[in-house]
Structure 1
Amino acid sequence: MPRRDRPATPHADAVRMTSVRKVYGKGAGAVTALDDVTITIPRGTFTAVMGPSGSGKSTFLHCAAGLDTPTSGTVLLGGTDLSGMNEVRLTELRRSRVGFVFQAFNLVPSLDVLRNIELPLRLSGTRTDRAWLEEIIDRVGLTGRTSHRPAQLSGGQQQRVALARALVTRPEVIFGDEPTGALDTVTGRDVLTLLREAVDALGQTVVIVTHDPVAAGYADRVLFLADGRIAGTLDAPSADLVAERMAGLGGRV
């Protein structure tokens, strides 16, 4: 029997947000972070989210991933409406159906690489698929490193561990918040290539927030935000086109 919060068959849309509004605070001090955002992210695609500082990028990601609850509007993950879910159900959903890769690698320093990768499975009580685990470790280039602790790895290797951890549950969506922000240019491009390969070879859906036009150039589509609203999209982006569009929105994030 399928899980109650998991659709019986894969939904064509990985994420659907409809009239999403997010307001922090009340009264005169209220801040509207998202204002009537409606967007669909198809399954098996790579989307980059960009915009000036304060445009609502992080709030967009948090609402789409079930890390935060919209003030109004609806968010569907693979056809499952997140509205009204309590924190227990949202936690279960995030563990089983969502992967996360952040700028801070968020690895557990006392655990070796293998146990860091397996952590979401252990937390959810899910048995490890050894063949899939080995494939993921190989794909992200960590073969021979699984007994190392995070402190024994470079920043790029630590982010590879984080990516493997995000992939191991076979999530419906991987969300990344500046996943290359703490990496040098060459290492960052290696991680972006791995994310691109996860989409192309594994059919994964990837959504990242980034300030880097080069990173956005790896995506299928760039979603631009400004003042909490969608300010446009760009399909088949290049770094130059992204930078030009960002300049028109007010520059850097």
Structure 2
Amino acid sequence: MSSRYALALESVTKVYGSGRHAVTALNGVTMGVPHGTFIAIMGPSSSGKSTFLHCAAGLDKPTKGGVILGNTRLAGLHEEQLTEIRRERVGFVFQAYNLLDSLTVADNVGLPFRLAGAPIPADRVRAELANVGLADMGDRYPGQLSGGQRQRVAIARALITEPDVIFADEPTGALDTRTGKQVLQLLREVADKAGQTVVMVTHDPVAASHADSVTFLADGRLAGELIGPTPEKVADRMTRLGEW
């Protein structure tokens, strides 16, 4: 796999436990995600979706195989180096938002810089908030925002370091249909207009239909890919994963 991929997995296997208690969550997964694309990862419960995200984002280390982020191979890096990579080159958007209620919206967006011990660039914070439609919300606190607004703050925080890849874990799981659609359209724009790479784990066929392609997992293995997904095609493929 070459650097034409924003993210590449090479025969990634992840085993939890040992002996007869061992559970293989990922089993020999190899794939590449081109720069500037928006892909969705789908599969039934216990298919390996969360483990895929954790290994791909450097939150967990594969038992076998390797992960390459841009030109950087993650295997062999110590925890301090991985922390720096996650802070500077990876963005995260979670279902639970993971905002700090004691900080203003602007301070939440600038948090990656604070954690790095660097000055918070106020102009960039304002620009990212404007990009997600929250230009006048910087002085508010998360508790004063709706769920959709909080998720947009989380997306602004993920974007501010201009990461190689944005990982979104069920980003619409806590939102109503209309608000979820707005968040998905924003992620779509991140790939189309900003040229950044988005990897989204979801169980929702409608959410997955906003992606360029859907990669399916079953029992920790790749179970096919769907290009140009629609909700109907995704739902149909999901119902047939058992046949795979």
TM-score normalized by the length of structure 2? 0.96
The alpha-carbon deviation at position 128 of structure 1 amounts to: 4.1
Match of 1:57 in 2: 49
Q: 2:125 corresponds to which residue? A: 133
Q: Does the CA contact (< 8 Å) of 2:94 and 2:169 recur in 1?
A: yes
Deviations 1:79-131 (A, max 9, x none): 20000111111001000000000001100000000000000011113444444
Partner in structure 1 of residue 84 of structure 2:
92
Aligned residue number for residue 3 of structure 1: none
Structure 2 Cα separation of the partners of residues 230 and 62 of structure 1: 16
Partner deviation per Cα, 1:213-243 (whole Å, 9 max, x = no partner): 0000000010000000000001111111101
Alignment of 1:94-113 (within 5 A): 94-113=86-105
* 8 Å contact from structure 1 (residues 140, 164) kept in 2: yes
The aligned residue for residue 195 of structure 1 is 187
Distance 1:17 1:121 in 2: 28
* 1:83 matched residue in structure 2: 75
Counterparts in 2 of 1:1-253, with a 5 A limit? 11-250=3-242
Q: SS state of the match for residue 202, structure 1?
A: coil
**Which residue identity does 2:191 align to in structure 1?**
V
Percent identity reads 60
Matched AA of 1:175: F
Q: Which amino acid aligns with 1:14?
A: A
CA contact (8 A) 1:121 1:128 kept: yes
Provide the aligned length of Structure 1 versus Structure 2. 242
Unaligned 5+ residue runs, structure 2?
A: none
Shift of 1:48: 0.1
Report if the CA contact (8 A) 2:126-2:138 is conserved.
no
The one-character-per-residue Cα deviations of 1:234-253 (angstroms, maximum 9, x if unpaired) are 111111110110010149xx
Compute the TM-score of the two structures, normalised by the length of structure 1.
0.93
- Counterpart Cα distance in 2 of 1:34 and 1:15: 17
CA displacement at 1:27 relative to structure 2:
0.5
- Give the gaps of 5 or more residues in structure 1: 1-9
Whichever residue aligns with residue 199 of structure 2, its letter is: V
- Out of 128-137 and 107-116, give the one that drifted further: 128-137
Matched residues in 2 for 1:66 and 1:58: separation? 12
CA distance in 1 between counterparts of 2:205 and 2:118 reads 38
Q: How many angstroms apart in 2 are the aligned matches of 1:106 and 1:194?
A: 18
Coordinate RMSD, CA, aligned: 1.4
- SS of 2:193's equivalent? helix
Contact 2:106-2:126 within 8 A present in 1 as well: no
